[in-house]
Chains A and B, each alone.
Chain A
Amino acid sequence: MTAVDVTGVWKFFGDFPALRDVNLTAEQGSCTALLGRNGAGKTTLLKILCGLSSPSRGKAVLLGKEGRSGETRRGIGIIGHGIAVYDELSARENLELFARLYGLDRPRARALEWLERTSLYHVREGLVREFSRGMRQRLAVARAFLHDPKLLLLDEPFTSLDDRAIALLQGLLREAIAGGATVIMSTHQLREALELATHVSLLVRGKVSYAGERTAEMLADPGWLYANYGEAA
């Protein structure tokens, strides 16, 4: 089953085309690494997939449905550039809020379960503004995985994570993929991403220059893709 089907998507900011006729498909249970230099259009594409932005042309079908239906969004987990948790709320209150917004049963129990899984249970009533950077990042990971999403859309998920948070996120992603979830992640950390990825898409100036399975060459030399399909190629 196709979890993500992007067809002929263009996105203009004024006259500038940030995305140019982008096509992307991801099968259920796959992990696609969305690569590209800064300004290539990775975040713009992920924002369209998250429903935060609408394409100027083309369409994006997620989990079999086009548009921003509540049912589709219930199946999506996101990690963006910000951690998307509230500084003035406690760790438990943050997760409980999102559990309620996603319509989960027993929101408090679910929040506490994920605080336990991310080793934040002991600070569950502490305000997020008092947390260290690593703790905040782990809470953001818990928020994204809280509702067992079928599709994970991750924008630079490994950026500025500490080693503990990287290990946690990689473990959760492996578990999610093994459970049939689909992952699309943009990243500059090629080695971490390629270890997890089953597929790779390379964006160059808003256009897909490579889309296919991750190969042994990419794993052996993370720079291989840019050398053969990047701007200089």
Chain B
Amino acid sequence: MNFLRQSLSVAAKDLRSEFRTKESINAAVSFAVVILLLFSFAMDPTSEMIAEMSGGLLWLVYSFAGALILNRSFARELPNDCLDALVASPLSGAALFLGKSLANYLLLFLLELLCLPVFAVFYNVTISRRLGWMMAVFALATWGLTVIGTVFSALTVNLRLRELMLPMLVYPMLIPALMAAMQLTTILIAGQPITGDDEIWLRLLIGFDIIFTSLALALIETVLIT
């Protein structure tokens, strides 16, 4: 119970800090909207190609823009050596990780919700046909992105080139989750149900989330202590 309370305290602190400064959410949303806009100019939004690559495009934008949010996760602890005070407190590494992941998850989900209608308008795509399933896929894929991003944010926090290192380390790890999210999103945007062979992608997302959440919770203490 104390573990959960501590995690929620960390998450609330991170969200409060972010909504006061808006430093990463503003940058991430602006970046995502600009990329979506530029791609819509580069391609013909009425073509059938859009329907085929919609999931891929959407998740590439989410993952690139998401890196801006994830990069700040542990970096915001650096001024005034706040990370030292957190690590020296009775807060376990796992509770710290979970708290930071919850805050990152909500921020990434907010980014996705803000960009989805923009995507629908620019690319002339109907997103309402399988919206419930789409939200479920977003929830699972975003958790995968969050877990990997938060661990690597902790790992790279003391590196001088962490803005460069984080994406370089995170994207190769995310390939299975991103592939699954892209496939499922493309199917759902086309208005088709997830059936038969496509269920493997859903199972992959669930498995990815479980495996990497367990690994992160087990290893985060080692990552935080030098």
Contact = CB atoms under 8 A, between A and B. Distances in A.
Contacts of B82: 82, 84-86
Interface stretch (A28-36, A72-80, A118-126, A205-213): A72-80
Contacts, number: 82
Interface string A76-112: 1010111111111100010001101111000000000
Interface centre among A51, A83, A93, A101 (most CB of B within 10 A): A101
A97 B13 contact: yes
B13 A98 contact: no
B13 A83 contact: no
Contacts of B164: none
B203 interface: no
Contacts of A228: none
Contacts of A100: 5-6, 9
Contact of B2 (A53, A84, A103): A103
Nearest to B17: A88
Nearest to A53: B226
B47 interface: no
A54 interface: yes
Nearest to B81: A82
Contacts of A54: 225-226
A74 B5 CA distance: 16
B90 A84 contact: no
B85 interface: yes
A82 B9 CA distance: 22
Contact of A52 (B16, B17, B79, B226): B226
A52 B225 contact: yes
A184 to B, nearest CB: 14
A65 interface: no
Interface in B68-90: 79-82, 84-90
A85 B89 contact: no
Contact of A98 (B79, B85, B221, B225): B85
B141 to A, nearest CB: 29
Contacts of B2: 103
Given A98-B89, A101-B89, A87 B9 contact: no
Contacts of A52: 84, 87-88, 225-226
B160 interface: no
B10 to A, nearest CB: 8
Contact of B88 (A76, A81, A103, A127): A76
A51 to B, nearest CB: 6
A78 B84 contact: yes
Given A82-B81, A85-B80, A73 B90 contact: yes
B195 interface: no
B87 A84 contact: no
Contact of B9 (A80, A85, A97): A97
A83 B9 contact: no
B187 to A, nearest CB: 41
Contacts of A68: 221, 225
B6 A101 contact: yes
A51 B13 CA distance: 23
A95 B206 CA distance: 38
A150 interface: no
A53 B225 contact: yes
27 contacts: A50-B84, A52-B226, A53-B226, A54-B226, A71-B90, A73-B90, A74-B90, A78-B88, A80-B84, A81-B81, A82-B82, A82-B84, A84-B82, A85-B80, A85-B82, A87-B79, A89-B16, A93-B13, A93-B16, A97-B9, A101-B6, A101-B10, A101-B91, A102-B90, A103-B2, A103-B6, A143-B85
Given A74-B90, A88-B16, A103-B6, 19 more contacts: A50-B88, A51-B87, A52-B226, A53-B225, A68-B221, A73-B90, A78-B84, A78-B88, A80-B81, A82-B79, A82-B84, A86-B13, A86-B17, A87-B80, A88-B20, A93-B16, A100-B6, A100-B9, A101-B90
